[in-house]
Structure 1
Amino acid sequence: MDYIQALDYIHGTWKFGTKLGLENISYLLQLLGNPHRKLRCIHIAGTNGKGSVTVMTASILEKAGYKTGLFISPYLEDFRERIQINQNYIPKDDLARLTDVVKQKVEQMLAEGRPHPTEFEVVTAIGFCYFAEQNVDYAVIEVGLGGRLDSTNVIDPLVSVITSIDYDHKDILGDTLAKIAYEKAGIIKPGRPVVVYPQQDEAMDVIKQVCQQRQSPLIEVSYSDIEAIDDSIDGQHFNYNEGKWTFNRLYIPLLGKHQLMNAATAITAVLVLRKYMGVAISDKAIAEGLSVTKWPGRLELVHRQPYVLLDGAHNPQGAQSLANAIKNYFPHNRVIMVLGILADKDVRAILEVLVPLAAYIITTRPDSPRAIEAERLLTLVKEMNVQGQAIDNIEFAVQTSLDMAEPDDLVVISGSLYLIGRVRTYLKGVLVH
């Protein structure tokens, strides 16, 4: 099996849908020798911010001198983004070889009459096999969907982290914050410490209850521990005080005030490793890890004159963070938006936040069968009294927005990570930095 064949096989398993539960992945991993049991993991769940916290945590561990695995989803441009060690994507040959190994075990499962693993289960198995084979010191694992029944939840992490919880995937996770929080809290393991981003009371009450039941130490991150110093399109400086540890003038190159809380959550997670597990992580490693964190496609400024901002905001909370950033960093700029949203998201709520900020909106259709049609999205935009046009072709939609923009304008491209990945690839060929 070569690399292209491996990708074809992996993507071909999408037809088996999303099936939450641990029985299938547990059996597949058993056939593979239980590679996940050889890993020391940090497990991160949440509705918003879990990707940011995952990459920050991994960056800090790398700067502390550890061989650090990173497992994230989805990817933007290159499938191999999902499985990394020290910011190096899994090599194509290794991906092909391990996919073939996993495929053989899947075929054994099918011969035994077991259900076919889902795409995410297959990718999870490949990632765990790679990290175990490469003997990583630590693996930072981002939950795919929910937590309790997500295929990554077979691990027994050193520390669990729960980021901001909000409404998303309500058809799967539940229609109340309490139900969603219960699913996220499923990653909490007996006796293992849990770091939690500030939550609404309804969600926090559930997390506290689960921690009490499982006798898991709960460490809450607090807004009051953060002191913002300065904030610009080049990044942010802040102070952070966590009990007996004080960090002065930390820097993150990420935009959006919410990233300060994500950074505080990542810092707290590694401090818990230091305190509870005796992991050697210096203050210098924490500062350096944060300072070089990269998280493409999330409030990512990719060009100036005109400003071009990419953000995969795909739910109302994410849209609000984007709106706050637009108001904070670009208060006087004319805004031209390119929007492409999945139909199973809370489309109207997203539009209600973003549309009033735009002078003109171009709607398009992300690379997903779940995407809302560009014409239908434009109809909803026009109901909010903003003019625009629908362009199905993503590249043409983006180029049209760039052609319209004056040097001081802001072009915002948002709505779905399925859109952002393709846009990033296109812009690399047309923008001169």
Structure 2
Amino acid sequence: MNHETAINKIKTFERFGSRLGLERMRILMELLGNPQKDLNVIHVAGTNGKGSVCRYLYEALSANDYKVGLYTSPFLEVFNERIEYNGALISDEELEQCTDHVLQKVQLMLEQGMDSPTEFEIVTAVAFVYFKKLQADYVVLEVGLGGIGDSTNIVENPLACVITSISYDHMDRLGDTIEKIAAEKAGIIKQGVPVIMNVTRREAAKVIARKAYETNAVLVDATKIKYKVFEQSMEGYTLDTRIFGTEYTDVQIRMIGEHQLSNVMTALITLELLRKQQKIKVERSRLYAGLKRAIQIGRFEVMEKNPYIILDGAHNEDGAKALAETVKSFLSDKKILMVIGMLEDKDYNKILDQFTQVTDCFVVTEPNNPRKLKTEILYKLLTERGQNCTVIEDPAEAYQYAESIKEQYEVVLYAGSLYLVGQIRRILRDDGRKRIESSTVL
């Protein structure tokens, strides 16, 4: 099985949809020998911020010479991004081997007339097999959707459960109230396992606190632990804090946006709690180096300067609000062009309410996804709001158009969908390589 075949075989399971529930996963993991039971897992759920918190945890532990696995979704450019180990994406060869191993067990399930696992369940199983094979010291595990019925919730005894935020997203699957969504996310909480939550909505925080109480789990509210920012710029932040009596001074991070301050605090609190419980040992300077190294691609990622070319995968109301606030903090005096594309199952009206605070100049396009929102809908909604709007359906052509007029702006910002951001990121990187090659030839 070659690399492309491995991915294509996994993709054939798309037809089974994204069905929540652990029954299929339990059977599959049993057939695989339950590799997840031999892993030290930090389990991270939340509507927004979970990817960044995972990245901070992963880099901080890796910097302390631990062998660390990271499982996240979705990917932006290549499938292998979903599974990382020791600073590198899973290799094509390892992906082939682990996929082949998992699919052999899936075939046994099908032969016995059992329900087929979903695509996400198979990828999650591949990650567990890979991390067990390499004997990872720790695994940072990001929930795919919700919590209680997500395939990652097969982990029964994690070191810590982290819930980064609760807001409206995937309401068709997780519920139409904040309380219902919070209950889904709180489903990762396990008996006696410490919970770190960074949840600002009181009604959601109450649901999580109740679940922690019912499971006799220590609960730490990250929003209650203070920090002080000493420097901030487009290069990042420097902050001080005190966590459980331990002073952290001159902590530097490179991810931009006020929400990243609460994300790094959530990660730091988790690490300090595990250190106090003697579950990890970390050396201060290495911890700092790891946090400073952490970058989450596609999240207010500055690809070029003068003019700024920025990618942000903001695809729900809270993500769009965080983007608008970040622009206000750092780029409020700049002339900005936004290139946006969205999915039709998102609350695009509320997202546009935030985006139109950023600028009044838009190019609308369509992400390469079957659930894409048609440009005519976006155009209508933006022009009704009095915005200047150009329609270019193909994202590659939208990029070329933005490039042709970028000198008229100080910032070109791509946002609205991770699928769009991933496609633009590939194009930008290809363009950059071509420019380097042409300058070398000259």
- After TM superposition, the score normalised by the length of structure 2 is 0.96
What is residue 134 of structure 1 aligned with on the other side? Answer: 134
Tell me which residue corresponds to 1:357. 358
Q: Deviations over 1:345-396 (max 9, x none)?
A: 0000000110232231111111211110122211111111101111111111
2:337 counterpart letter in structure 1: I
- The answer to whether residue 67 in structure 2 is matched with residue 70 in structure 1 is no
* Residue identity opposite 1:124 in structure 2: T
How far apart are the structure 2 equivalents of 1:203 and 1:306?
Answer: 40
Partner in structure 1 of residue 210 of structure 2: 209
Q: Deviations over 1:118-176 (max 9, x none)?
A: 11000000000000000000000000000011000011211010001111111111111
Distance 1:170 1:198 in 2: 18
Aligned to 1:79: 79
Name the structure 1 match of 2:440. none
Distance in 2 (CA, whole Å) between partners of 1:229 and 1:223 is: 19
Give the match for residue 415 of structure 1.
416
Could you list the per-position Cα deviations for residues 286-332 of structure 1 after superposition, in whole angstroms to 9, with x for gaps in the alignment? 21111100110000011112111100000010001110111111111
Once residues 31 and 385 of structure 1 are traced to their aligned partners in structure 2, the CA distance between those partners, rounded to angstroms, is 58
- TM-score (norm: length of structure 1): 0.98
Indicate the SS of the match to 2:407: coil
2:389 counterpart residue number:
388
Q: Which amino acid is the alignment partner of residue 401 of structure 2?
A: T
Q: Deviations over 1:167-212 (max 9, x none)?
A: 1111111111111111111111000101111321101111111011
Amino acid at match of 1:72: T
Aligned-pair distance for 1:408?
A: 5.2
Q: Which amino acid aligns with 2:58?
A: A
| 1:139-288 paired onto structure 2 within 5 Å | 139-155=139-155, 156-222=157-223, 225-288=226-289
* CA distance in structure 2 between the aligned counterparts of 1:97 and 1:19, rounded to whole angstroms: 26
For 1:84, the aligned partner's letter is: E
Whether contact under 8 Å (2:301, 2:310) holds in the other structure is: yes
Per the alignment, residue 118 of structure 1 pairs with: 118
Q: CA deviation at 1:113?
A: 0.9
Cα gap change, 1:401 to 1:408, in 2 (>3 Å) = closer
Report if aligned partners of 2:11, 2:119 keep a CA contact under 8 Å in 1: yes
Q: Which range moved further: 28-37 or 192-201?
A: 192-201
Which deviates more from structure 2 when the two are superposed, residues 120-129 or residues 350-359? 350-359
- The answer on 1:290 being equivalent to 2:291 is yes
The separation in 1 between residues aligned to 2:158 and 2:12, in whole angstroms, is 30
Deviates more, 1:307-316 or 1:191-200: 191-200
What residue is the counterpart of 1:93 in the other structure? 93
Give the Cα–Cα distance (whole angstroms) in 2 for the partners of residues 139 and 334 of structure 1. Answer: 42
| Pairing 1:3–2:3 present | yes
Specify the alignment match of 2:426 in structure 1: 425
Q: Structure 1: which 5+ runs fail to align?
A: none
Aligned counterparts of 2:248 and 2:59: Cα–Cα separation in 1:
17
Give distance in 2, aligned partners of 1:32 and 1:224: 41
> Residue 299 of structure 1 aligns with which residue?
300
Whether the 8 Å contact between 1:225 and 1:240 is mirrored in structure 2 is: yes
Aligned residue-pair number: 433
Identify the range of structure 1 (40-49 vs 100-109) with the bigger mean alpha-carbon deviation. 100-109
Aligned residue identity for 2:97: R
C-alpha separation in 2, matches of 1:225 and 1:357: 29
- CA deviation string 1:12-48 (max 9, x = no partner): 2111101000010110011111110111100000000
The one-letter amino acid of 1:319's match is A
C-alpha separation in 2, matches of 1:11 and 1:32: 20
Residues 379, 389 of structure 2: 8 Å contact kept: yes
2:250 is paired with a residue whose SS is strand
Instruction: Give the Cα–Cα distance (whole angstroms) in 1 for the partners of residues 224 and 311 of structure 2.
Output: 27
Contact map agreement 2:163 2:199 (CA 8 A) in 1: no
Identify if the C-alpha distance between structure 1 residues 215 and 224 changes in structure 2 by more than 3 Å, giving closer, same or farther. Answer: closer
The alpha-carbon deviation at position 430 of structure 1 amounts to 2.4
Q: Which range is displaced more, 341-350 or 372-381?
A: 372-381
Q: Do 1:337 and 1:401's aligned partners in 2 also have CA atoms closer than 8 Å?
A: no
Structure 2 residue matching 1:33: 3-state secondary structure: coil
Indicate the SS of the match to 1:202. helix
Displacement of 1:231: 1.1
Taking the aligned partners of 1:357 and 1:266, their CA distance within structure 2 comes to: 29
Instruction: Find the residue that maps to 2:84 and give its secondary structure.
Output: strand
Decide which moves more: 105-114 or 269-278: 269-278
Q: Runs in 1 of length 4+ with deviation above 6 angstroms?
A: none
- Quote how far apart the aligned CAs of 1:243 are: 2.5
Q: Post-superposition shift, 1:407?
A: 6.6
Q: CA deviation at 1:223?
A: 5.4
Distance 1:68 1:344, change over 3 A: same
Q: In 2, are the aligned partners of 1:109 and 1:116 still within 8 Å (CA)?
A: yes
